[in-house]
Every structure is written in C-alpha cells, then in structure tokens.
Amino acid sequence: MDAPTPARARTEGSLAPLVDGFGRVADDLRISVTDRCNFRCTYCMPAEGLAWLPKAELLTFEELTRLVRLFVRLGIRSLKITGGEPTVRADLPVLVRMLREVAPGTDISMTTNGVLLDRLAEPLAEAGLDRVTVSLDSLLRHRFAEMTRRDALERVFAGIAAAERAGLAPVKINCVIVGGTNDGEVVDFARWSRETGHVVRFIEYMPLDAQQAWERAKVVPSARIVAAIDAVFPLEPLDPDAEPARSYRFADGAPGGIGVIASVTEPFCDTCNRLRLTAEGQVRACLFALEETDLRGPLRSGASDEELEALIRDTVARKWAGHRINHPDFVRPERSMSAIGG
Ligand code: SAM
Ligand code: SF4
C-alpha cells in the first residue's frame, strides 16, 4: 500500500491543541443538539417555552460529525451531548453512533432531564454513549413538579434505573439549588446518594435563566451546602481532578458521594477547559461569553477544515480570563442556558 501523501496525512492526523491566551487548553466540548425541551424548569425557561429554532437552522448529523472529527483532531478528549433536552432530538442514537465512529477514543457523555431515558438508555448505550448525567432537583413529587413544571419524578427515577441497567454508568446527578425552594433538601439528597450510590453534584444557580428572574439572594453558596451535609454525614474531600466540581466522599465509607459546582461563589475559570457548540453551530469559549463564532455559515458555503480550524482557534485564543458575575460591570449573555447548551 502506498504511503500517505503529506497532504493526506495532515487531513487525518492530530493538530496542535487549542490553547487560549492564558495558556488553558480546551479539550472538553459540549455540543447542544437542540434548543427544545420537554420540561420548563423555573430557573431555566418560562412556562410557555421559548421561540424554538426552525429545523433547518440546526446542524445536521452530517455537519455535527464533520465538526466533531475536526475537534477531535484539535485535541478534544471529552464530548458532552446536551441541549435544550438532547433526547428530544429525533434519532439521537443514530447521531451518537456517527460521533462514536469519528471519535473512537473519546469519552462521550450526555446531560439529560432523564424523562425519556427509560426507552432511550439502551439504544444510546448500544450506539456508543459512555455515561449520562441526569438532572434531578427534588426528591419530592410536589416540589419536582413545581420546579420543572412537569409531574414526572417517577419517570425520571425510571430513566435513572434504565441508564444503570444499560451500563451508562456511573450515573451522576445534577441538582440546581435555588434558595427558598429546594435548599432544605440537600441532606436528603446526601442520604439518597448513600442509599443508591449515585454521586449528586449541587450546582449554584447562575444568571442564565431566560426570564431573567435570577437574584443573588437565591444563590446558595456551595460552602454552606457542604457544611450542612458534613454536619450529618461527615465528608472527606477527594483529590481535585480535572472537573470543576469539588468532590467529597462519605467519611464512613458509604457508597455515593457529593460534589459542588460553585460557579458563582468560587469561580473555577482559571482551570476551565471547556468549549461549547450551540445547536445552530455557534462556537462559544465560555457560558457567559458575549461573543460567539458562526461555523454553520462557513460549513454550508464549503469551508475547508483549515478554514474552520482557523475560526475555532481564533475563538479559543480570545477566551477571556473569567466570567464577571461578581463584578459591577457584569453583562448577561443574550442567550439563556438552554439555548447555549449547559
Ligand atoms: N435538559 C438537560 C438537563 O436539564 O439536564 C440538559 C441541558 S440543561 C441546560 C444542563 C444543565 O444546566 C442542567 O443540569 C440544568 O439543571 C442546568 N441549568 C439550567 N439553568 C441553570 C441555571 N440558571 N443555573 C444553573 N444551572 C442551570
Ligand atoms: Fe429543559 Fe434542562 Fe432547561 Fe430544565 S434545565 S428546562 S430540562 S433545558
């Protein structure tokens, strides 16, 4: 067989990593596959939903696959499929299979509200998905319904069980704590973690809700959550790892554990390795970025990989030092969490 020509080798080989102006390497890509959702979490979007993107504006599976192939060559090592609610995108297992083919050694996970996992967990696992994180903000039926505006707690529990059976493990749980709503449940979540073995990560409420109802008074500092749990179930910190979550195990050796994502009170921007691709193909270097770069237009008008690479590198190079939530000059991004891809 002929040796590959230099041009061909360049097309298929790995490229220099994506490094920003502060020396941080972007190797984690969050891909939003839809802006739509079948829940209406009060901290995320209004009861009537949002003006969804027309289908023609979403990146197609082929476009997503082409971009992911390039991102992997640029050093992306983990892919998180998100949304909106990713499971409402038709034929999601087909997409996962396509991504798995172009990213064979990459960790591919998904963040979901879990309500459709009872029927999708198995086909997603078969298609090559590694893990899921399920959002669960209350263990109480009435509060779950109040926070998500859907009476679906039992279906989410069924989805978590289906994910475990399908081997999408370890199933992690994301829980957004909103002061005055579910903050009284943190110790109950820790108890549930000990009983089920699921690690629960508490996320601070961020100013990314579409209806702009966020107030600082509703942010429950992660340090307070850790202290409340530690008083009942003593905790031991785990070694800090690549994740932004600070993780703890139970000192008595019980299964499960907790994590906190203190985006507001203790930002972790210094070590942020994330990059985001919105459902319509905008690349963003930060959740709170005020600028984004369109990849869909160039993709659809025939841009080469080298041209797309230059656009991505430029976006990463201009990534700012950190978000400015705690500064008087903070400006909310126009997009809300579900339209960015959390
Ligand atoms: N629909 C999926 C879900 O809920 O898991 C995936 C998309 S959702 C936007 C991703 C994560 O963002 C979820 O864990 C959700 O709880 C979190 N989230 C949404 N709005 C938030 C906010 N204002 N502050 C903090 N986290 C938020
Ligand atoms: Fe939907 Fe997720 Fe937003 Fe809840 S947090 S409304 S499940 S996108």
Predicted confidence at residue 340, as pLDDT, reads: 78
Per-residue pLDDT at 10 exceeds 60 = no
Quick one: average pLDDT of 33-55?
A: 96
Kindly state the percentage of the chain with pLDDT values over 70.
96
Predicted confidence at residue 35, as pLDDT, reads: 96
Which ligand number lies closest to the CA of residue 215? Answer: 1
Task: For 281-295, write each residue's pLDDT tens digit.
Answer: 999 998 888 889 999
CA-208 nearest atom, ligand 1: 23
Which ligand number lies closest to the CA of residue 135? Answer: 1
CA 74 vs CA 19, 22, 276, 279, 299: distances in Å:
10, 18, 14, 20, 17
Q: Is the CB of 41 under 6 A from ligand 2?
A: yes
Q: Is the CB of 37 under 6 A from ligand 2?
A: yes
CA 149 vs CA 40, 154, 202: distances in Å:
6, 14, 20
Q: Is the CB of 341 under 6 A from ligand 2?
A: no
Q: Is the CB of 339 under 6 A from ligand 2?
A: no
CA 271 vs CA 71, 137, 242, 338: distances in Å:
20, 27, 8, 24
Quick one: average pLDDT of 130-157?
A: 98
Predicted confidence at residue 12, as pLDDT, reads: 65
DSSP assignment of 168-223 equals --S-EEEEEEBTTTTGGGHHHHHHHHHHH--EEEEEE--S--TT----GGGB--HH
Which range, of 14-23, 239-248, 300-309, averages the lowest pLDDT?
239-248
Task: For 76-95, write each residue's pLDDT tens digit.
Answer: 999 999 999 999 999 999 99
Q: Is the CB of 85 under 6 A from ligand 2?
A: yes
Cα 336 to middle of ligand 1, angstroms: 10
Predicted confidence at residue 269, as pLDDT, reads: 84
Which ligand number lies closest to the CA of residue 220? Answer: 1
Tokens 């509200």 map to which residue? Answer: 113
Which residues touch 70 (CB under 8 Å, ≥6 apart)? 305, 308, 309, 312
Cα 341 to middle of ligand 2, angstroms: 10
Cα 8 to middle of ligand 1, angstroms: 41
Report residue 190 as tokens: 């820790």
**Is 182 or 207 the better-scoring residue by pLDDT?**
182
Quick one: average pLDDT of 160-171?
A: 97
Predicted confidence at residue 242, as pLDDT, reads: 55
CA-133 nearest atom, ligand 1: 5
Which residues touch 292 (CB under 8 Å, ≥6 apart)? 278, 282, 283, 284, 315
Looking at ligand 2, which residue's alpha carbon is closest to its atom 3? Answer: 44
Predicted confidence at residue 137, as pLDDT, reads: 98
Per-residue pLDDT at 223 exceeds 60 = yes
Task: For 234-254, write each residue's pLDDT tens digit.
Answer: 999 998 765 678 999 999 999
State the first-to-last Cα distance of the chain, in angstroms, to the nearest integer: 46
Per-residue pLDDT at 4 exceeds 60 = no
Per-residue pLDDT at 326 exceeds 80 = no
Quick one: average pLDDT of 198-218?
A: 93
CA-83 nearest atom, ligand 2: 8
Q: What percentage of the chain's residues is helix, strand, coil (to nearest 5)?
A: 35, 20, 45
Per-residue pLDDT at 8 exceeds 70 = no
CA-341 nearest atom, ligand 1: 9
Quick one: average pLDDT of 192-221?
A: 94
Which range, of 39-43, 199-203, 242-246, averages the lowest pLDDT?
242-246
Per-residue pLDDT at 268 exceeds 90 = no
Q: In a mutational test of the pocket of ligand 2, which residue from 80, 88, 113 has the highest number of ligand atoms less than 8 Å from its CB?
A: 113
Work out the mean pLDDT of the chain and round it to a whole number.
92
Quick one: average pLDDT of 260-273?
A: 87
Strand, helix or coil for residue 270: helix
Tokens 């950190």 map to which residue? Answer: 322
Quick one: average pLDDT of 1-30?
A: 73
